[in-house]
A and B are shown apart, each in its own frame.
Chain A
Amino acid sequence: MSLEVRNLTKKYGDKTVVDNLSFKLEKPGVYALLGTNGAGKTTSLRMILGMLAKDGGEILWNGKPMDAMNMNVGYLAEERGLYPKYELMDQLLYFAKLKGVSRKVAKERIAYWAKRLEVEEYLYPKAVKGKKKEKPKMADQLSKGNQQKIQLMAALLSDPELLILDEPLSGLDPVNTDLFKGIIREEMEKGKHLIMSSHQMATIEEFCEDITILNRGKAVLQGNLNEIKKSYGRVNMFVKCDQAFNDIAEKHGLPVVTQTPDGTQYKVTGEAQATDFLKDLLANDKQVIKFELREPSLHEIFVEKAGTQNEEE
């Protein structure tokens, strides 16, 4: 199974919000769609899902035009939503029915995911002896995090072959973040195809092999994350010494990127410049506590790409 997006374009009037976006998800795993707010991520996802009509391009699933209505797709929207005044169980059964899942299977799956996501108490009101049975819970009686869990359940109820998660971890506490991460990992292990948009770069690095960074509707960086990082080279140098060494850094023309109690980060042109600098530190009897040379993080790449583009425009 594979997903291919070719020259996807969307315009609102004269404004192009997604401009010739292309990417491929050939094997199971998570594909990351990154970008600043308003970069066109959600619009792209909505076009892939067939919610929005595209103004150009193609979306292929297994080489054929994709029709989300006639395939098994799960979707967790960025702007979460449940009917506030309807019972949660009714809503989940409705969403499952829309996906063509029978009531019996849906109930089994709801039971599984309710346990897995620790929301059983909201879906199955307890009957306490001698007391009136609790009323089933409505969405507006749940915390934001628990509503998010119910929505993830709705996305997973049909056991989808393609799962699209728009900012799945935003607003979650660390415990629930780990719970969600565990489920994403499970889905990956099951061989599912996932597309994920997120602002949490560490999470993307944790799950995704391939990425696209969008800026104002255009793909400004695309490809395998490891290869992208390698292409930048090991240009991030972290140094911590007992004594001051700013004069030596200035002599080597190294610009300071960040300065924290944990050390100073410099941008170097390559390994040779870093080696020369280290040699100079040692030659000047500086006690080097920390010296690290590594590739840029996704966060740095993202800020560089998205930030620069924004400045240019």
Chain B
Amino acid sequence: MKKSDFTGWREVFRFAFEQGTKQKAYKGFIIFMCILTLASMPVLSLIQSLSKDEGPQKSGVSTVTVYDESGLNIDYAQALADERYQDVKIVSGDAGKFEEHTKKLEESEDSTEVAVHITYEETGYFSITYVKSADADIKSDDYNLLTDDFTNFFTEAKLRAVDVTEEQLAFISQEVATKVKGTTETGEIAPEQVKEEGISMTEYFVLLGGLMIVMLIIAFSSSSIATSIVTEKSTRVVEYLMINVRPLALIIGKILASLLMVAIQFGAIIISYLVSCIINGLIFGFESLNKTMEQAGEVAGLLSQVNPLTILIAIVFILTGVLFFSILAGVAGASVSKMEEMAEGLKTLNMLMIVGSYIGIFLCIMQLNGSKSELLTTIFCIFPLSAPFITPANLLLGNIGIGYTLISLVILWVLVLALFFFASRVYESLIFHNGKVLKTKDIIMLAKTKKKTVVKEEKQA
């Protein structure tokens, strides 16, 4: 690679950026996203205030008839104490009439009644049966909530029925923790195997959100670079460009332009969000804004490793990932001669992106479950295909250390440089290739042929 290989990248960058931002699709997308973001906070507040006006949602159940054959003396009047059940009537059913009531419910339509049958089975357990009509006018959410609340009430009530005090009840209601230990070969008790804890839902969403953002950046950047190269090839503009610009300068200019375009999109969305918060504050008061800021703070609190260094590493990591996939997109785009064959030419690239992002999503789920997540996090954060999607967010959340991140970054850079040398070797031939879409093995063969020629030239020299 020579210095002249990069001559003209500035002009390419400027033109690609100017033309890219002039496109209706680009402007339309920014406007659409900004409007959506601007509207988001006031609309959310409006929905919240509307639902507050309505008060707590009332249960759709009108009557609960309890047939208690458990033998316990329980007062069910307070079984459904929550505000949502204030209109629900609790009635005691006559003993032995449950079957009859059930039949009556089966025949009825649009009923809002529920029958509850509580028994103590001889095999040694309490049984609660809930029945509603098949055609009942009760939402499943209302029904499920009611059965859960009633069961919880019964669980506590049966303990109270045997004269358990509030204190004892609180004590025996504690969760049960189990420790399973084994012995070593020498007969000593082996150290306890600590069960790995999963990440919180907020962390999960931060990771997933980060992955989606990086995936969007990479997908946008790669597709715009590939499209631009295929356009230049299919329209033969590339012939004119190649006199003044080397292929590498051409691809670098395009990559940087698309990066800037993506950055502008995100910048516009962030500014729109801030404006949206201010509008929301002006309309609904700044209390709701404070609540939003508290929520933001909660997320920020998770980012335990955040400091200027980790932010810098994360940004460099994302850019390196974009560079990696953009070079691949450049090579893939150059292997295509016609616009209509672009989808076929980008098959491998899309496959790699899907594999990388799916590994990322898989890791997020595993981290949430907590099973073997530390090992998996380290492996997948180093694996070059998935690393750009997950490593930056994992670094900021403190799930992976700076050391491993740097190792991963070095591996990615080695791969980027190798890919860059590979691209510089084949790009010239690819850019003038005119014919069917070249497959990956054809491109590798091309690089090998080129290498032999270079070695031969060096020997001759």
Q: A residues near B, CB below 8 A?
A: 11, 13, 46, 49-53, 55, 67-70, 73, 75, 77, 79-84, 86, 90, 94-95, 97-99, 151, 154
A98 with B245: CB separation less than 8 A: yes
How many angstroms between the C-alpha atoms of A51 and B245 in the bound complex?
A: 9
Chain B contacts of A95 at CB under 8 A? 240
Q: Which residue of B lies closest to A55 (CB)?
A: B453
Q: Which residue of B lies closest to A164 (CB)?
A: B243
A50 with B243: CB separation less than 8 A: yes
Chain A contacts of B11 at CB under 8 A? 94, 97-98
How many angstroms between the C-alpha atoms of A154 and B235 in the bound complex?
A: 15
A69 with B7: CB separation less than 8 A: yes
Q: Which of A13, A51, A94, A98 contacts B239 (CB 8 A)?
A: A51
B239 with A81: CB separation less than 8 A: yes
Chain B contacts of A82 at CB under 8 A? 235, 237
A53 with B428: CB separation less than 8 A: yes
B243 with A81: CB separation less than 8 A: no
Chain A contacts of B453 at CB under 8 A? 11, 55
Chain A interface mostly? loop
A83 with B235: CB separation less than 8 A: yes
A75 with B18: CB separation less than 8 A: no
Q: Cβ of B81 < 8 Å from any Cβ of A?
A: no
Q: Which of A81, A86, A98 contacts B244 (CB 8 A)?
A: A98
Chain A contacts of B236 at CB under 8 A? 77, 79-81
Q: Tell me the residues in window 145-167 of chain B with beta carbons closer than 8 Å to chain A beta carbons.
A: none
Q: Which of A69, A75, A80, A154 contacts B4 (CB 8 A)?
A: A69
Q: Cβ of B449 < 8 Å from any Cβ of A?
A: yes
Interchain Cβ contacts under 8 Å between A and B, 27 examples: A46-B242, A46-B432, A51-B239, A51-B428, A52-B432, A55-B453, A68-B243, A69-B8, A69-B243, A69-B244, A69-B246, A70-B4, A77-B239, A77-B240, A81-B235, A82-B237, A83-B231, A83-B237, A90-B15, A90-B19, A94-B15, A95-B240, A97-B11, A97-B15, A98-B8, A99-B244, A151-B240
Chain A contacts of B7 at CB under 8 A? 69
Chain B contacts of A49 at CB under 8 A? 242-243
Q: Which residue of B lies closest to A42 (CB)?
A: B239
Q: Counting chain A CB atoms within 10 Å of each CB, which of B4, B243, B246 scores highest?
A: B243
Q: How near does chain B come to A296, taking the closest CB pair, in angstroms?
A: 34
Q: Cβ of B406 < 8 Å from any Cβ of A?
A: no
Chain A contacts of B14 at CB under 8 A? 97
Q: Which residue of B lies closest to A97 (CB)?
A: B11
How many angstroms between the C-alpha atoms of A55 and B428 in the bound complex?
A: 14
Chain A contacts of B15 at CB under 8 A? 90, 94, 97
Chain B contacts of A11 at CB under 8 A? 453
A81 with B4: CB separation less than 8 A: no
Q: Which residue of B lies closest to A67 (CB)?
A: B4
Q: Tell me the residues in window 202-245 of chain B with beta carbons closer than 8 Å to chain A beta carbons.
A: 231-232, 235-245
Top 8 nearest A-B pairs (CB, nearest first) are: A81-B236, A98-B244, A77-B239, A51-B242, A81-B235, A79-B236, A81-B237, A94-B15
Chain B interface size band reads: 20 to 34
Q: Which residue of A lies closest to B449 (CB)?
A: A13
A98 with B241: CB separation less than 8 A: yes
How many angstroms between the C-alpha atoms of A83 and B239 in the bound complex?
A: 12
Q: Which residue of A lies closest to B245 (CB)?
A: A98
Q: How near does chain A come to B119, taking the closest CB pair, in angstroms?
A: 76
Chain A contacts of B235 at CB under 8 A? 81-84
B231 with A51: CB separation less than 8 A: no
Chain B contacts of A84 at CB under 8 A? 231, 235
Q: Which of B18, B231, B232, B428 contacts A52 (CB 8 A)?
A: B428
For B267-311 the 0/1 string (1 means CB < 8 A from A) is 000000000000000000000000000000000000000000000
How many angstroms between the C-alpha atoms of A290 and B242 in the bound complex?
A: 54
Chain B contacts of A55 at CB under 8 A? 453, 457
A81 with B8: CB separation less than 8 A: no
A86 with B239: CB separation less than 8 A: no
Q: Which residue of A lies closest to B237 (CB)?
A: A81
B428 with A79: CB separation less than 8 A: no
Chain B contacts of A73 at CB under 8 A? 243
Chain A contacts of B245 at CB under 8 A? 98
Chain B contacts of A68 at CB under 8 A? 243
Chain B contacts of A52 at CB under 8 A? 428, 432
For B235-260 the 0/1 string (1 means CB < 8 A from A) is 11111111111100000000000000
Q: Tell me the residues in window 1-42 of chain B with beta carbons closer than 8 Å to chain A beta carbons.
A: 4, 7-8, 11, 14-15, 18-19
Q: Counting chain B CB atoms within 10 Å of each CB, which of A73, A86, A94, A97 scores highest?
A: A94
Q: How near does chain A come to B44, taking the closest CB pair, in angstroms?
A: 39
How many angstroms between the C-alpha atoms of A94 and B245 in the bound complex?
A: 12
Chain A contacts of B432 at CB under 8 A? 46, 51-52
A75 with B240: CB separation less than 8 A: yes
Chain A contacts of B242 at CB under 8 A? 46, 49, 51
Chain B contacts of A99 at CB under 8 A? 244
Q: Which residue of B lies closest to A139 (CB)?
A: B235
How many angstroms between the C-alpha atoms of A80 and B236 in the bound complex?
A: 6
Q: Which residue of B lies closest to A11 (CB)?
A: B453
Chain B contacts of A67 at CB under 8 A? 4
A154 with B240: CB separation less than 8 A: yes
Chain B contacts of A70 at CB under 8 A? 4
Chain A contacts of B244 at CB under 8 A? 69, 98-99
How many angstroms between the C-alpha atoms of A81 and B243 in the bound complex?
A: 14
Q: Tell me the residues in window 411-459 of chain B with beta carbons closer than 8 Å to chain A beta carbons.
A: 428, 432, 449, 453, 457
Q: How near does chain B come to A49, taking the closest CB pair, in angstroms?
A: 5
Chain A contacts of B241 at CB under 8 A? 98
How many angstroms between the C-alpha atoms of A69 and B8 in the bound complex?
A: 10
B238 with A81: CB separation less than 8 A: yes
Chain A contacts of B428 at CB under 8 A? 51-53
